[in-house]
């Protein structure tokens, strides 16, 4: 029985319902997770190692079966028990899984060969894909004659060659060095936009997630911590974990009083949207939304504890503001010295209240 999920040009919508995974040794890798991925959408599963993101991807791929009660649907038809070879997915593995016994062209064409596509059509598709992924001239190379970046492109070309219903990428850039990773991230982004196919991308790297995702699903301990656009995740994290995992964050334990938040270093204005205040709250402030000003007349003051010049800006640790030093990203032109007392200005809209009680 061969089932074809008519992919159309942009793939299928993917629905994951109550998918949990408990392994044979009893460890639960994934709690019951429900997730919808729209047709043509790029969703990034982001989280630290062991958060269940790869397990979820493997369930979507058909490499793992969810525990009883879980369902996976492609365009409303259930595929939970359909093995990977009949799901028409395209998959890029962290180690690429290129076949060492085949050259680049044969690797790319393998899925087409399996589908019985004739030789003429195959070579046309190979030509199209090597051009798309920028690996012209490497067709006859053996896999072990390729650099890491070239392997990554071949793996991608091989996965999309079959016009998959959904493209699944498992940490595809992790094995590369930093500079190459950044360049390929840009290329990958362009390619995914060009293809416009439903894509699910797993990574632990938040900058990759920001750059590539239409939507980011932050995962923690087998559950979804937050799902939203990169901007939502960054500016309005749902909880402390997301705030700290995505970008740098200052978490302050503050006392609320009459529209102001009081911390050891002074006071700052609470955001307007803040209603029904409790006495003590947790707030999050991104380092780049704090401005350093003269100490005179500032409502919030601290002492420069350390300076870290990173080129385009300087990251300043300021003590005596809260229980722990807070991080401030200041322009690289401001002269600052360790030990100096400074004033701080924070726009109320940049102060994000986090749920939960302070410790």
Question: 198 in helix, strand or coil?
Answer: coil
Q: What would the x/- binding string for other proteins be over residues 113 to 142, using CB under 8 A?
A: -xx--------------------------x
Are the beta carbons of 89 and 61 closer than 8 angstroms? Answer: yes
Residue 235 in the binding site for other proteins (CB under 8 A): no
Question: 54 in helix, strand or coil?
Answer: helix
**Cβ closer to other proteins: 75 or 88?**
88
Are the beta carbons of 302 and 326 closer than 8 angstroms? Answer: yes
Compute the distance between CA of residue 16 and CA of residue 35 in angstroms, rounded to an integer.
Answer: 5
Give the binding range for other proteins (CB under 8 A) out of 96-104, 122-130, 252-260, 296-304. 96-104
**Cβ closer to other proteins: 173 or 292?**
173
Alpha-carbon distances of 211 from 30, 97, 193, rounded to whole Å: 26, 25, 12
Are the beta carbons of 335 and 299 closer than 8 angstroms? Answer: no
Closest CA to 52 of 218, 211, 206: 218
Alpha-carbon distances of 143 from 40, 119, 154, 204, 246, rounded to whole Å: 31, 21, 9, 27, 35
Site for other proteins in 155-174 (CB under 8 A): 158-159, 162, 168
**Cβ closer to other proteins: 71 or 163?**
163
**If you ran DSSP here, which 8-state letter would residue 24 be given?**
T
Residue 219 in the binding site for other proteins (CB under 8 A): no
Compute the distance between CA of residue 226 and CA of residue 204 in angstroms, rounded to an integer.
Answer: 15
Compute the distance between CA of residue 150 and CA of residue 143 in angstroms, rounded to an integer.
Answer: 9
Compute the distance between CA of residue 106 and CA of residue 38 in angstroms, rounded to an integer.
Answer: 32
- The residue count for binding other proteins (CB under 8 A) is 29
**Cβ closer to other proteins: 133 or 226?**
133
Q: What's the min distance (Å) between Cβ of 99 and other proteins?
A: 5
Q: What's the min distance (Å) between Cβ of 176 and other proteins?
A: 17
**Cβ closer to other proteins: 101 or 194?**
101
Q: Choose, by CB under 8 A, the member of 56, 89, 283, 300 that binds other proteins.
A: 89
Q: Choose, by CB under 8 A, the member of 93, 235, 241, 274 that binds other proteins.
A: 93
Q: What's the min distance (Å) between Cβ of 247 and other proteins?
A: 32
Number of H helices, E strands in the chain: 8, 20
Q: Choose, by CB under 8 A, the member of 63, 82, 175, 238 that binds other proteins.
A: 63
Q: What's the min distance (Å) between Cβ of 21 and other proteins?
A: 16
Residues that bind other proteins (CB under 8 A): 24, 61, 63, 83-86, 88-91, 93, 95-101, 110-111, 114-115, 142, 144, 158-159, 162, 168
């Amino acid at each position: 029985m061969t089932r074809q999920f008519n992919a159309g040009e942009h793939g299928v919508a993917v629905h994951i319902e109550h998918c949990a995974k408990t392994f044979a040794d009893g460890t639960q890798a994934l709690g019951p997770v429900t997730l919808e991925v729209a047709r043509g959408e790029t969703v990034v599963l982001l989280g630290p190692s062991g958060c269940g993101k790869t397990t979820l991807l493997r369930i979507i791929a058909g490499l793992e079966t969810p525990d009883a009660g879980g369902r996976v649907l492609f365009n409303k038809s259930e595929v939970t028990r359909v093995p990977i070879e009949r799901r028409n997915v395209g998959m890029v593995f962290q180690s690429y899984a290129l076949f060492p016994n085949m050259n680049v062209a044969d690797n790319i064409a393998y899925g087409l060969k399996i589908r019985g596509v004739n030789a003429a059509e195959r070579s046309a598709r190979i030509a199209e894909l090597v051009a798309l992924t920028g690996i012209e001239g490497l067709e006859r190379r053996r896999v072990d004659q390729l650099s890491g970046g070239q392997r990554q492109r071949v793996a991608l070309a091989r996965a999309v060659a079959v016009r998959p219903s959904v493209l699944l990428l498992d940490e595809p850039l992790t094995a590369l060095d930093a500079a190459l990773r950044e360049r390929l991230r840009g290329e990958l982004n362009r390619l995914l936009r060009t293809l416009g196919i439903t894509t699910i991308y797993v990574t632990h790297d938040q900058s990759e997630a920001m750059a590539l995702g239409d939507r980011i699903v932050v995962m923690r301990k087998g559950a979804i911590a937050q799902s939203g656009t990169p901007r939502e995740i960054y500016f309005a994290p749902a909880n402390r974990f997301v705030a700290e995992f995505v970008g740098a964050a200052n978490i302050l334990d503050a006392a609320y009083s009459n529209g102001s938040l009081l911390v050891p270093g002074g006071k700052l204005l609470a955001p307007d949207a803040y209603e029904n205040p409790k006495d003590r709250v947790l707030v999050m402030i991104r380092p780049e939304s704090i401005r350093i000003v003269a100490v005179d007349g500032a409502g919030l003051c601290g002492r420069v504890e350390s300076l870290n010049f990173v080129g385009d800006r300087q990251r300043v640790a300021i003590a005596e503001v809260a229980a722990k030093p807070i991080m401030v990203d200041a322009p690289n032109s401001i002269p600052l010295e360790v030990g100096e007392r400074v004033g701080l200005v924070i726009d109320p809209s940049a102060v994000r209240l986090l749920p939960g009680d302070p410790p």
